[in-house]
Amino acid sequence: MGKQGIDKCDICGKDAIINICDGKGGHEAHYCQTCHNRLMAEEMGIDVPEDVPEELIILDSRDQVHRFKIEYMNWGHMQRLEAFEDYSTGYRCAVGAEFDVCFPELWEMMMKKLERKMNIEYIDENGHWTYGKIVGDIVWDSEADDKRIIVNGKAYTWNDFYREIEASEGWQIKIEFADSTDDLE
């Protein structure tokens, strides 16, 4: 194990994010994302994009700079590309596709989705809903030891949402969940 109990990749020694379990509480293998993608591609007989950027910097409509970490993942049944500012706060965007979709096309899909997400203001600066709906992501916030809802790149607590829902007494409500690669907008 490495720093703070993080396992190391069995192949290259980087921090592991994929842990293969034996089904009995033990581990068979630990892989970093890059090594996992290569092993999966080798197993499936497909190519892994070699030129995946690690970071993306975008200027939003309010001239604020947003730095995104980029992750490409080969899931075996699909490829997934994700951009996120921080794991527990900030904008995030994920797209998925079959393996016949080339990386530049997958990148374009992600950029279009990210642009849509960053240009819709669901919550105003006072914390009030601006439309009749909210689209966001549910994430774990390790500092707060609780889940957060990310809307417009900002983290909200469940109590924040309760207060806004409480003000809508007498209205109908529809809650819809989807995979992070799906579009709810």
pLDDT at 2 over 50: no
Q: Is residue 140 part of a domain?
A: no
In this predicted model, which residue has the larger pLDDT, 175 or 10? 10
Give residue-wise pLDDT tens across range 120-140. Answer: 888 888 878 887 788 899 988
Give residue-wise pLDDT tens across range 6-30. Answer: 889 999 999 988 888 877 877 789 9
Q: What is the pLDDT of residue 5?
A: 64
Q: Is residue 172 part of a domain?
A: no
pLDDT band at 1 (very low <50, low <70, confident <90, very high): very low
The highest-confidence range among 5-9, 83-87, 100-104, 123-127, by mean pLDDT, is 100-104
Q: What is the pLDDT of residue 167?
A: 82
Q: Is residue 64 part of a domain?
A: no
Residues in a beta bridge with 18: 31
Q: What is the pLDDT of residue 11?
A: 94
Q: Is residue 38 part of a domain?
A: yes
Q: What is the pLDDT of residue 4?
A: 56
Q: Is residue 10 part of a domain?
A: yes
pLDDT band at 53 (very low <50, low <70, confident <90, very high): very high
In this predicted model, which residue has the larger pLDDT, 94 or 167? 94
Mean pLDDT value of segment 149-171: 86
User: In 3-state terms, the chain is what percent helix, strand and coil (to 5)?
Assistant: 20, 30, 50
Q: Is residue 148 part of a domain?
A: no
Mean pLDDT value of segment 48-73: 89
Question: 35 lies in which domain range?
Answer: 1-44
**Residue 104 CB coordination number (10 Å):** 10
CA of 30: how far to CAs of 2, 71, 169, in Å? Answer: 12, 18, 50
Q: What is the pLDDT of residue 77?
A: 85
In this predicted model, which residue has the larger pLDDT, 158 or 164? 158
CA quadruple 8, 13, 19, 22: dihedral sign:
negative
Q: What is the pLDDT of residue 67?
A: 94
Domain count, the chain: 1
Distance CA 36, CA 157 (A): 34
CB-neighbour burial class of residue 169 (10 A; exposed 0-12, middle 13-18, buried 19+) = exposed
Q: Is residue 164 part of a domain?
A: no
CB-neighbour burial class of residue 153 (10 A; exposed 0-12, middle 13-18, buried 19+) = middle
Q: Is residue 16 part of a domain?
A: yes
Q: What phi and psi values does residue 166 have, to the nearest 5 degrees? A: -60, -35
pLDDT at 79 over 80: yes
Residues in a beta bridge with 128: none
pLDDT band at 83 (very low <50, low <70, confident <90, very high): very high
